[in-house]
Amino acid sequence: MKDDPIITEIRDIRHKLSEKFGHDPKLLVKFLQEQEKSHADRLVYLRTEPQKNERYWT
């Protein structure tokens, strides 16, 4: 299978983030939660229930 440059880039970034926190998942999660709070206006939440007039949802 041919390597996808986008997947390679994402994996590199994930590895650098993990390395930044000493490969400690608790520290990484804490950092990510802080980022969520800092950028709450940029987050998108998926609906889990259909709207009143919708038959289906995604």
The residue extents of the domains of the chain are 5-41
Residue 3 pLDDT exceeds 60: yes
Q: Kindly state the DSSP code that residue 22 receives in the 8-state scheme.
A: T
**What would the mean pLDDT of 5-19 be, rounded to a whole number?**
96
Lowest mean pLDDT among 16-20, 45-49, 50-54: 50-54
d(CA 28, CA 46): 24
Q: Are 36 and 46 in contact (CB under 8 A)?
A: no
Per the CB < 8 A criterion, the answer to whether 21 and 27 are in contact is yes
In this structure, which amino acid lies at residue 42? R
Reported pTM: 0.60
